[in-house]
Amino acid sequence: MSQNMNAYYYRAIFGKTQLTQADLVTFDVGESNRPPADLASTQLAYHDFSADTAATAEQSWDGPSYRVDARHVYSPGYMGLLTTIGAQPNESWILVRLLAFFPEKEWDFGRAQGVAIDFQRGNKSYAWKSVRLMNKVGEISTLWGGSAGVWGKVEFALKVPRDAQPTDELRVYVHNGNADKPVYIDNLEVRHLHP
């Protein structure tokens, strides 16, 4: 696991005896994920999955949830052009929040489900970051922390790349990551943070 460590993560945890969810996100994305507090916020998408045909009541937070598994590899999310939302390279941030629930935990880091922010140009990804869900729900203590059987909020933000162009596409979604076990998600929200 040490091959995945990065300078941002080391700076985030230096001198700490207890990790936070933000520290674990820093480990996953390998860069700062803390946008300035004074940015304005515009909602781009919100999914409570109440009208989705693949929604399920197997596990629910407040109404139906969405099951991401080997059959439903990607969740509904957000897709739109940067020009449409007015995103500015190296100034704007994309924030994603959701609730997640694991009946059983996926311990294999390489197969863990995640929430992704993806910047594409010409249908090719040029900046993709994903945050594992399994260690951010419930009790957070280590990189392998997290708890099965509880709902928990997961969020992360990513700065719009400095080389982004107005015609680039932003995609946000939850992916299965080849996990053997399902994850249930609810209240998926995507926001544009801007000056």
Chain segment 63-115, per-residue pLDDT in tens? 789 999 999 999 999 999 999 999 999 999 999 999 999 999 888 888 889 99
- Token output for 115: 């929430």
Q: Is 5 helix (H, G, I), strand (E, B) or coil?
A: coil
Query: What residue ranges do the domains of the chain occupy?
Result: 38-194
Is beta strand 183-194 parallel, antiparallel or unpaired with respect to 65-68? antiparallel
Chain segment 126-159, per-residue pLDDT in tens? 999 999 999 999 888 777 788 899 999 999 999 9
**How wide is the angle at C-alpha 27 spanned by C-alphas 21 and 30, nearest 5°?**
130
Encode burial over 1-37: b for 16+ CB neighbours within 10 A, e otherwise: eeeeeeebbeebbeeeeebebebbbbbbbeeebebee
- Token output for 29: 């994305």
CB-based contact 133:100 (threshold 8 Å): yes
- Token output for 33: 């994920």
- Token output for 131: 């945050």
Computed over every residue of the chain, the mean pLDDT equals 89
Kindly report the CATH number that applies to the domain delimited by 38-194: 2.60.120.260
Model confidence, pTM: 0.88
- Token output for 83: 């020009």
Q: 103, 79, 10, 65: which is closest to 186 by C-alpha?
A: 65
Phi and psi, residue 33, nearest 5°: -130, 30
Q: Categorize the per-residue pLDDT at 43 as very low, low, confident or very high, splitting at 50, 70 and 90.
A: very high
Predicted local distance difference test score (pLDDT) of residue 57: 62
Q: Is 11 helix (H, G, I), strand (E, B) or coil?
A: helix
Torsion of the alpha carbons at 63, 103, 180 and 139, rounded to the nearest 10: 110
